[in-house]
Structures are given as structure tokens and as C-alpha cells.
Amino acid sequence: MKKLTLFLSLMMLAFTMTTTAKDARLEKTQEYVIEAKVEGKSIGKIKISLWPDLAPKTVANFDNLAKTGAYDGTAFHRCIPGFVIQGGDPNSKEGPKSSWGMGAPGQKTVPAEFSDVKHTRGILSMARKGNDVNSGTSQFFVCVADVPSLNNQYTVFGTVTEGMDVVDTIVNMPRDERDNPLKKVEMFVTPLSGKTK
């Protein structure tokens, strides 16, 4: 009986350690603020943390685009309640709405960096063209709900730490048959510092 009790105690300890252990890949972060604007007026700010140890190439690509202002003025062009908001296409700065989400020719592509981190509410992940897993460019999405069907299919690279209420506002805006908000929702991305935490 003592052996059984000891065995059960050890099993419980092992289970507790595995379920509470922190993922070291998520400890170092790079912080940004995405301000969303409609018709030039701010509707709120979304603070995000990116994980360079989880998806180094994807985070480096996002960081470069953010620091050069490439995201500023692009739209959240695909907003689906219960699923995601997606944005970051350079076409959405000045191109016709029919081209939003198509991507611009010659954009740098980033290879997939799949992980076991799940697509839960608030997760940032890279969009891509069709079935080509290595076709990520500038477009990304934020999950507004848990979306297990996306797990191990898209590159998770960060999470929303503040401002999910703003994400919810965006996803619930009136939209057309292509899930584009009727009023353009522009983003302006600001790195909070040049250093990682």
C-alpha cells in the first residue's frame, strides 16, 4: 500500500510539473502597439507581444515591416466573427478593395515556422497564399476565438496582451460579402522599444 501511495504521489507531482511548466520559447518578447483608426479617428489600441524564440524569421520580418512603416495605413480587410481579423496587405493602402488580401508582387516571403502553440483567442499568426505554407509575407491574423483547425497549419508568432475589446469591435463591424468592413479599418504599428524583453 505504501508503494502504491508513493507511486501515485510521484505521478501527481510529475503531472503538476508538466502542466505548470512555462514554455521557454515564450519568455522573450518584443512588444508593439497597433492603433486602429476608422475615418482618421482612433477606435483603440491593441498591445501585442511577439515571440522571437518561437518563430524567429517571422518575428524579424514583422519587426522590419513595423519599423519601416510598411504596416501604417494598411487595413484589417478580412473580419469574420468567431474566427479571425486579418490585415497587413500593402494593396489595402491605396489599391482597389477587390485587391485587398491578394498581396503585392515581389513581397519577401517567410518560410513556415510551425509549433505546438495553439491557435487560441488572442493569438497572432501569419496568413499565406493558398496551400503554400512558405508563402507568408506581411499579412497576419488575430484569432477572436479558439480555432483548433488552424493548429500546425499556420505560423503562430505572438499574442494580444491588451486590447482584445478593440479586436472584438473590429470583428463585429458591418462588412460586405467578402468580409471586408464597410468602413476601412486602418492600422498603425509602433514598436514599444528596439530591444527584446
Identify whether the C-beta of residue 147 lies closer than 8 Å to the C-beta of residue 40: no
In a domain, 183, yes or no: yes
In a domain, 53, yes or no: yes
**What average pLDDT score do residues 47-64 get?**
97
In a domain, 9, yes or no: no
Question: Does an H or E element contain 50, and which?
Answer: strand 41-50
pLDDT digits (tens, 9 = 90+) for 107-160: 999 999 999 999 999 999 999 988 889 999 999 999 999 999 999 999 999 999
In a domain, 130, yes or no: yes
Q: Give residue for cell 518560410.
A: 111
The pLDDT value given to residue 18: 42
Confidence of residue 52 (pLDDT cuts 50, 70, 90): very high
> Which stretches within 49-137 are classed as H helix?
56-67, 91-94
In a domain, 163, yes or no: yes
- Report the mean per-residue pLDDT for the chain: 89
Provide the 3-class DSSP secondary structure of residue 129. Answer: coil
CATH code at position 63? 2.40.100.10
In a domain, 63, yes or no: yes
Q: What range defines the domain where residue 94 resides? A: 25-191
pLDDT digits (tens, 9 = 90+) for 86-114: 999 999 999 899 999 899 888 999 999 99
Task: Measure Cα distances from 88 to 9, 66, 127, 140, 148 in Å.
Answer: 51, 10, 10, 6, 23
Q: How far apart are CA 35 and CA 162, in angstroms?
A: 12
User: Considering the entire predicted model, what is its pTM?
Assistant: 0.86
**What average pLDDT score do residues 5-16 get?**
47
Confidence of residue 17 (pLDDT cuts 50, 70, 90): very low
Q: Please give the tally of structural domains in the chain.
A: 1
In a domain, 11, yes or no: no
Q: Give residue for cell 513556415.
A: 112
In a domain, 87, yes or no: yes
Grid coordinates in use for 8? Answer: 501515485
Identify whether the C-beta of residue 137 lies closer than 8 Å to the C-beta of residue 108: yes
